[in-house]
Amino acid sequence: MSGRQGLAADIGGTNTRLALVENGRVLEETIARYRNRDFGTPEEAIDAYLAGAGHPACRSAVIAIAAPINGKAIRMTNHPWTFDATCIGKVLGGADVTFLNDFEALAYSLDRVAPERLKSVYGSAQAVSIGATRLVVGAGTGFNAAALFQNSGGLHVGTGECGHATLAVETETELQLWKYLARNRGRASIERALSGRGLREIYEWHCLEKGLAPDTLSPAEIAALANSGADQTCEAAARQWVTFLGRVIGDLALVFLSLGGIVLTGGVTRSLARFLSEPEFLNAFCAKGRQQQLVSGIPVHLLDDDFAALSGCAARM
């Protein structure tokens, strides 16, 4: 066991991923994934992991969390867990604890992604270019994005809570769906559509529009039925979902001017990968008026690596 060892953790709204880090690199064989619901607190999950790994001595920990990072005490948006650097440090035997936003960690991982993990969705089949701003965007339990800027001062990540920005609609039909997503909530954010729960609610709305009672399907089941073509309503929901995704990532590409490319991630995005080559997605992505040419030149890739944020944590250790 090395004194240089550290802990990387990526805590999402559903799962926690953990790994040991040595010399700034994730030790692949130590990667583990836990379901949050099996633990009462993040300290319990970390404690269980360390016990399974033979109680390694960790001098530092970098923990990526699906939450705005603002001070030492962090509260997740999509999960009841809270985080305190002192409490987590105690579980780790006094290790220094650093919190990152989970998308900040994903952005820092972009330079470390193995090329075979990036599948071309649109544009150049090359990996995203070096130098220009790159954007990582993901839909899973929630939705967020982060930009990786490169300038003479080095790397800088810009991220926030863009999943909570307003979902933009363009037709009466979309506005009716927006109102369904906004019911009892006052408004519909991007995340109300572009998340697992969002896919489920878009499916429900399509059922209700057809006068059908929605089946009790999980987002994964809706995606599977859409992919196989076995259920037209699931397929319609998937096509609407990728329409919103295309529009939103095109808008974010303009906001951040991410000419270096967009990397898509997140469990729901991956589950609907088939629909990313459909016209609904690409048309919505490129339909940016006078900036259509600018946006059309931006390559889009899908990141096939559920543990990428751990590499980003290691990069910041």
Strand order in the sheet with 143-151: 118-122, 300-303, 262-265, 134-139, 143-151, 154-159
Among 115, 151, 211, 216, binds a second copy (CB under 8 A): 151
The sign one gets for the Cα dihedral 309, 147, 166, 205 is: negative
Quick one: which of 89, 123, 160, 214 contacts a second copy (CB under 8 A)? 160
**Closer CB to a second copy, residue 73 or residue 168?**
168
CA dist., res. 163 & res. 8, Å (int):
24
Site residues (CB under 8 A) for a second copy, limited to 12-31: none
**Which residues are within 8 A (CB) of 301 and not within 5 positions of it... i.e. 6 or more apart?**
118, 119, 120, 121, 127, 128, 261, 262, 263, 264
Burial class of 15 by CB neighbour count within 10 A (0 to 12, 13 to 18, 19+): middle
Residue placing its CB nearer to a second copy in the complex, 49 or 149: 149
The correct pick among 259, 286, 310, 317 for binding a second copy (CB under 8 A) is: 259
Among residues 246, 25, 258, the alpha carbon closest in space to that of 136 is found at: 258
186 binds a second copy (CB under 8 A): yes
Q: Is residue 143 close enough to count as binding a second copy by CB under 8 A?
A: no
Considering only residues 212 to 251 of the shown chain, the ones binding a second copy according to CB under 8 A are 247, 251
282 binds a second copy (CB under 8 A): no
The residue from 156, 220, 229, 277 that contacts a second copy (CB under 8 A) is 156
Taking a C-beta distance cutoff of 8 angstroms, is the pair 276, 237 a contact?
Answer: no
Among 4, 59, 197, 288, binds a second copy (CB under 8 A): 288
Which residues contribute to the site for a second copy (CB under 8 A)?
Answer: 68, 70, 77, 133, 145, 147, 149, 151, 153-154, 156, 158-162, 164-170, 172, 175, 178, 182, 185-187, 189, 247, 251-259, 287-291, 294
